[in-house]
Chain A
């Protein structure tokens, strides 16, 4: 299937240097990015990635007596392309901090407790309808080092593959009703309020002991429909 990738919309995608996020001024290129023509090199992508990136740990809330602390959540995430077509069999990587705001990563120096029953990383494969379901706990907020009072709101990181190399999506999902959402330098780098709103998960009714959130990840690319006669 031929895929078309259109230029990013500056209203719905962040633009590089953000005043509230000091590192962006040291890392985002000072020179303008270069537009390039697309060929098979950019409009193809890895196949069979699930073999190189096998699924790991589908339940972050823990097992048996080894249950992670925090509000139990179930995340229902659907991966779609711009045509709304679901992407089955695509790899999704998920990571987030524990309920106290601490990541499993050794570089996290935040003075918050480690939860021995929480391992905040999973890799999943979407099902036939592009869906993944993940049981986990609600991540905490945490202060950003050397940031003069910036606290990250609770969020979940996603890394996902679309149909082609240029469809690669790395993003973060937020929770509704969090006051820190209003001041977060990363969420608010998205200028369009509707696009920003789509980065916030939707709480849906639950009949179990888990709060259920639904979310969509839309990867770049749409079908290059053959011209109708």
Chain B
């Protein structure tokens, strides 16, 4: 039986076309009750990163990943201050999982994609529990208003965000 080896991943590089990352950060243009997720992405020594690409994948409000009405996927790029912004809905819980948003990060200097997850609280979740106890708080978004959350991502250094390998 055919078995092909996956192509080697390589860095996105610094020049990902700007228009590829525009107009895709809003997953809920018509939805009442949308939430905003913002954050800053930094490298070693807290230096912010410009034009870094983030993609998200999440369930709809009922915890479904095959919704016809909600895209579940979005993309944003950081500005020169390292800030990104998504507008979406709060996902529901799918079987065996707490509500969460999957994040994929692509950038120059990252030889391959990085994956992390934002949770909404310290929930009982097998992916959150795969991370050692003292680092779990770094995966919980900070609620800053009834409709907005902050999720900063530190690629390397103090309070480094936990990342997953798959």
Contacts and interface: CB of A to CB of B under 8 A. Distances in A.
Interface of A: 5, 7-9, 12-16, 18, 21, 23-31, 33-42, 44-49, 52-53, 56, 80-84, 93, 95, 97, 103-108, 120-121, 123, 157, 159, 165-166, 168-172, 186-187, 189-190, 195-196, 198-199, 216-220, 222
A186 B11 contact: yes
Contacts of B45: 26
Contacts of B96: 39
B130 A121 contact: no
Given A30-B156, A40-B95, A95-B15, A12 B163 contact: no
* 9 shortest interchain CB distances as A-B pairs: A23-B109, A84-B2, A46-B73, A33-B165, A14-B111, A105-B15, A121-B17, A44-B65, A27-B109
A168 B73 CA distance: 12
A180 B57 CA distance: 37
Interface of B: 1-20, 24, 43-45, 47, 49-51, 55, 57, 59, 65-66, 71-73, 94-97, 100, 102, 104, 106-115, 126-127, 130-131, 135, 155-157, 160-166
A186 B10 contact: yes
Given A31-B162, A82-B3, A171 B9 contact: yes
B10 A171 contact: yes
B6 A82 contact: yes
Contacts of B47: 26
B8 A13 contact: yes
A169 B9 contact: yes
Given A9-B5, A23-B109, A42-B166, 8 more contacts: A16-B112, A27-B43, A30-B160, A33-B164, A36-B126, A46-B57, A83-B3, A170-B113
A38 B166 contact: yes
A45 B15 CA distance: 26
